[in-house]
Amino acid sequence: MTPLLILSGASRGIGRAIAERALERGFAVGGLARSADELATLVALNPERVEVAVADVRDQAAVATGAAAAIARFGAPSLVVAAAGTLGPIDRPWLLPAGELDDTLAVTVTGAANLAAATVPAMLAAGRGTFVAVSASSATRVFPGWAAYGAAKAGLDAYVRYLAEEAGDALTAFSFVPGLTDTAMQAGLREVDVERFPQVEQFRRWHERGVGKAPAVVAGALELALALPREDLHGNVVEADALLKAQAQAARRAEA
Ligand SMILES: NC(=O)c1ccc[n+]([C@@H]2O[C@H](COP(=O)([O-])OP(=O)(O)OC[C@H]3O[C@@H](n4cnc5c(N)ncnc54)[C@H](OP(=O)(O)O)[C@@H]3O)[C@@H](O)[C@H]2O)c1
């Protein structure tokens, strides 16, 4: 039977790269996002194996309907990735507009919880499955200006720890940190003024030097993560950069 990946954030960036890698590996893909045009280009890659739904991850009913359509077509997912994310307002912690902060927390935490609600029961019924939440190092490390993003990702990591603890042996659940990746999210960040984002010049210089990874590299790092033993993943925060570094070191050792 064709394995199924269901993911949010399927329209572009890291989520889109994960979806495309999964298609290359023979998965069916159930992709959720708000951008219908970009989802249509995902379908066009492989109409036989792609089901998409226009859904805002904050909308529990829309996420449930979208995931159910993919499950009806391809069976229980073996892999679910909550990749949708937003930086939210960039400013000092005491200046964050409450409505924008609410939105950031809702996209990040409620969005992942909505995706879990729509998929985890099917994985538990099938007796197997993996749930990955795309997190960020700002959950534990301060980047001045990113309080909303950091708080949201820390909340997401906590949610994943609870999911891992409570779902039982059938599910593997972990947070996955991509590290600096060249996407629309990073492009938006480079436009923020220095008063609100003191490190903006550094991020602009990194971009000029090509430091950010391509989203496809992050998709490859997630594959490396998924090949690890369950005890290295379950309930943990797994970093793409550490996996890629270890892979490069192993390649160098093999050449020597
Ligand atoms: N880029 C980095 O350096 C970096 C580093 C660490 C972590 N991350 C994380 O990686 C994930 C992907 O980010 P990215 O860099 O690929 O950013 P991106 O290119 O801006 O993509 C964000 C994705 O999230 C979706 N999304 C945003 N709000 C949504 C909502 N309310 N409902 C449904 N979908 C929504 C977008 O789809 P629509 O707009 O079509 O809805 C899009 O597919 C995020 O969780 C981000 O926090 C990124």
The structural domains of the chain, with segments of one domain joined by +, span 4-180+214-255
Q: What pLDDT does residue 224 have?
A: 98
Q: For ligand 1, what atom is nearest to the CA of residue 108? A: 45
Per-residue pLDDT of 103-152, as tens digits, reads 999 999 999 999 999 999 999 999 999 999 999 999 999 999 999 999 99
- Domain 4-180+214-255, CATH homologous superfamily name and number: NAD(P)-binding Rossmann-like Domain (3.40.50.720)
Q: What pLDDT does residue 121 have?
A: 98
Per-residue pLDDT of 41-90, as tens digits, reads 999 999 999 999 999 999 999 999 999 999 999 999 999 999 999 999 99
- The residue nearest atom 29 of ligand 1, judged by CA position, is 84
Who's near 78: CB < 8 A, 6+ residues apart?
3, 4, 5, 123, 128, 129, 130
In the structure, which protein residues have their CB atom closer than 6 angstroms to any atom of ligand 1? 8-9, 11-15, 33-35, 38, 56-58, 83-86, 107, 134, 136, 178, 180-181, 183-186
CA distances from 141 to 1, 25, 148 (A): 42, 34, 13
Nearest to 174 by CA among 122, 224, 101: 224
Q: What share of the chain is helix, strand, coil (3-state, %, to 5)?
A: 55, 15, 30
pTM over 0.85: yes
Tokens standing for 51? 């089901």
Q: Identify which of 6, 102, 183, 199 to mutate to test ligand 1's pocket (most ligand atoms within 8 A of the CB).
A: 183
Cα–ligand 1 centroid distance for 246 (angstroms): 26
Classify residue 161 as exposed, middle or buried by CB count within 10 Å of its CB (0-12, 13-18, 19+): middle
Q: What pLDDT does residue 37 have?
A: 98
- The residue nearest atom 44 of ligand 1, judged by CA position, is 85
Q: What pLDDT does residue 1 have?
A: 84
Q: For ligand 1, what atom is nearest to the CA of residue 180? A: 3
Residue indicated by tokens 């192993």: 250
Residue 29 to residue 2: CA distance in whole angstroms: 10
